[in-house]
Amino acid sequence: MKQIAPGVIWLPISFVNVYLVGEPGGPWALVDAGLPGRAAQIQAAAEKRFGAKARPEAIVLTHGHFDHAGSARELADFWDVPIYAHLLDMPFLTGKSLFPPPDPTVGGAMAFMSRFFPPNGMDLGGRVRVLPPDGSVPGLLPGWTWHHTPGHSPGHVSLFRGEDKMLIAGDALATVDLASLRHLLTKKQEIAVPPTPVTCDWVAARRSLAHLATLRPYTVAAGHGVPLSGAQVAGDLELFAEEFEIPRHGRYVSEPARTDETGIVFLPPPASDPLKKAAVSVGIVTLAGLALTLAARNRRESGD
């Protein structure tokens, strides 16, 4: 747990990040809710930061994928607070639809592992609500705004505080190259594309990156990777957005998935996956090794 900007605490949960936003004694919100089964870890961090029995005003989701919303319902029930998400992610958070399926053929380490991801959809019941249309962020002080940054998911949002150029980007981008297993394990800091296998509209993802670059952030806190901060960040993001290239192949490269307030409307046909059979045996070993490495790293970091 580390403060990366005034009132913004970064909490890594395995390979995904959550953020505690607010000052002790004042209103605060939890941004994203990590993997399933991590509620106790997040509760403990919140108590350490805000005090015993402290609870947020709200849980705010950048999007509804399982690694960002996995513990949202358990935490919302424990704290008795609402969960907020964009209208276009609501069908995937209320049991009406699954997200567009992962695309393992797009290439890279994360894409390979996506063959073993759980079904990407959940039902948060009456806890989940639509973000206010005026761009304000429930639970956070004035000055924070949400920006619709679709592409990775239809209702993906990023949060921005103008006074110090603080950006919580969710999975509109990453600050680690998730296509590289070595970079994922070493946590090498760099601006990188959104997680490729679950980005269902690459043209929209590129457009969203271009929009975020216009905000000229000083600090970028993404859903994956160690946050970046400094005077160089704005220029690096601008250059990355200008040079952003859509992957060369994959299910959603030529044509995106189309969704609306009810869920999936259209899916392009799956791309040929020659590694499907081999992935079953190799993937189990790879995932087991990755899980052991990340668990050991988490234990070392917790002891620091």
Displacement of CA 145 from its chain's centroid (Å): 17
- What order of strands is seen across the sheet that includes strand 8-13? 2-5, 8-13, 16-22, 28-31, 58-60, 83-85, 128-130
pLDDT value at 208 more than 70: yes
**Does residue 280 carry a pLDDT above 70?**
no
Location of structure tokens 């962020």: 137
DSSP letter (8 states) at residue 141: -
Question: How far is CA 238 from its chain centroid?
Answer: 21
Predicted local distance difference test score (pLDDT) of residue 284:
53
The residue whose two tokens read 């070493």 is: 186
Spatial distance between the Cα atoms of 61 and 155, rounded to a whole number of angstroms:
10
User: What is each CA distance from 145 to 37, 128, 158, in whole angstroms?
Assistant: 29, 19, 8
What's the confidence (pLDDT) of residue 299?
63
Q: Which helix (DSSP H) or strand (DSSP E) does residue 279 occupy?
A: helix 276-303
- pLDDT class for 25, splitting at 50, 70, 90? very high
Please give the average per-residue pLDDT across 135-160, as a whole number.
97
Q: In what helix (H) or strand (E) does residue 136 lie, and over which residues does it extend?
A: none
pLDDT in tens, 148-195: 999 999 999 999 999 999 999 999 999 999 999 888 888 899 999 999
Query: Which pLDDT does position 273 carry in this prediction?
Result: 83
Mean pLDDT of 111-138: 93
Q: What are phi and psi of 146, to 5 degrees?
A: -105, 145
Mean pLDDT, rounded, of the chain: 92
- Using CA atoms, how far apart are residues 196 and 217, in angstroms rounded to an integer? 23
Q: Can you give 74-127 as a three-state secondary structure string? A: HHHHHHCCCEEECHHHHHHHECCCCCCCCCHHHCCHHHHHHHHCCCCCCECHHH
* Residue 62 DSSP class: S
* Alpha carbon distance 112, 287 (integer Å): 10
Residues forming a β-bridge with 30: 20, 59
Decide if pLDDT at 204 tops 90. Answer: yes
Answer yes or no: are the C-beta atoms of 170 and 208 closer than 8 Å.
no
- Give the integer Cα–Cα distance in Å for 280 and 251: 20
**From CA 19, how far away is CA 10, in angstroms rounded?**
5
Question: Cβ(250)–Cβ(114) under 8 Å?
Answer: no
- 288 falls in which pLDDT band (50, 70, 90)? low
Q: Identify the pLDDT of residue 120.
A: 84
Checking if the pLDDT of 1 tops 90, the result is: yes
Domains in the chain, CATH or no CATH each: 2-303 (3.60.15.10)
- Look at residue 37 and tell me whether its pLDDT is greater than 60: yes
